[in-house]
Amino acid sequence: MIMAVVEVQVISDIVCAWCYIAKRNLDRAVQLYQKTYPGGRSDTFVVTWTPYYLNYNTAAHSVDKSELANIRLAYMTSVQRDALAQRVQRAGRAAGTNFKWGGKIGPGTRQAHRLIRLGAARSAAVQDAVVEGLFDAYHVREEDVSERDVLRGVAVAAGIDGAGADAWLDSDEDAGLVDAEAARSKVMLEGSGVPAFIIHGVHRLDGVQDPTDLLEVFIKVREGR
């Protein structure tokens, strides 16, 4: 069979727990495809991470996640909030991660999305490691992904040299492009939000997707349907 390229655009924000679950499910779907589809190991997946700004924290400084949750979820009873947390936790465990709710949330995620662009410029593997590292830092290690030291640590762990990470983080390179992409995402996903997948520029899937559903779309793309 002729090798195929499957393009996957993921629109997400790092502070979105469902986006982390969506990332893990995407990883599993790609693995399933490569293991089960005839010749699947020879096909290539090109994954692009497109920024979206949830803007949970509108303050000019970092705040405790618990403090922000008390404001954003004030309309919920304690029972409803516990049920929501348990639902996310169950979905996280099924995807292979264990959410923690402590730590701080910064005033924005532009720098995190810029770091993803830097990773993508290095290689697909480095980009994936940066994305996974950012999600893990925020949702599992309870770190503030607006802090420079946290971002640098993620970059170095992903294989980006420290000097290159420093130069990028100390600059504003591609900041305008990230802002523009995030603004377009907001318009595109109005009424639905993140996460969202656009596969091969044709199939749009909103929300967290089961790995088998993603696999089905990958096969449709591969077979030209």
Q: What are the backbone dihedrals phi and psi of residue 24, each rounded to the nearest 5 degrees, phi first?
A: -65, -40
Domains of the chain: 5-222 (3.40.30.10)
Arithmetic mean of pLDDT over the chain: 96
Please provide the DSSP assignment of 26-37 as one string: HHHHHHHHHHHS
Distance CA 115, CA 7 (A): 21
Quick one: tokens of 99? 């959410």
What is the CB neighbour count within 10 angstroms for residue 202?
10
Enter the pTM of the model.
0.96
* pLDDT at 101 exceeding the cut of 90: yes
Give tens-digit pLDDT for 141-192: 999 999 999 999 999 999 999 999 999 999 999 999 999 999 999 999 998 9
Q: Tell me: the pLDDT tens digits for 4-43?
A: 999 999 999 999 999 999 999 999 999 999 999 999 999 9
Contacting residues for 202 by C-beta, under 8 A, at least 6 apart = 221
**Is the per-residue pLDDT at 219 higher than 60?**
yes
> Taking a C-beta distance cutoff of 8 angstroms, is the pair 8, 49 a contact?
no
Q: Does residue 1 surpass a pLDDT of 90?
A: no
Q: Which two tokens stand for residue 160?
A: 């980006």
pLDDT reading at 134 higher than 90: yes
Secondary structure (3-state) at 162: helix
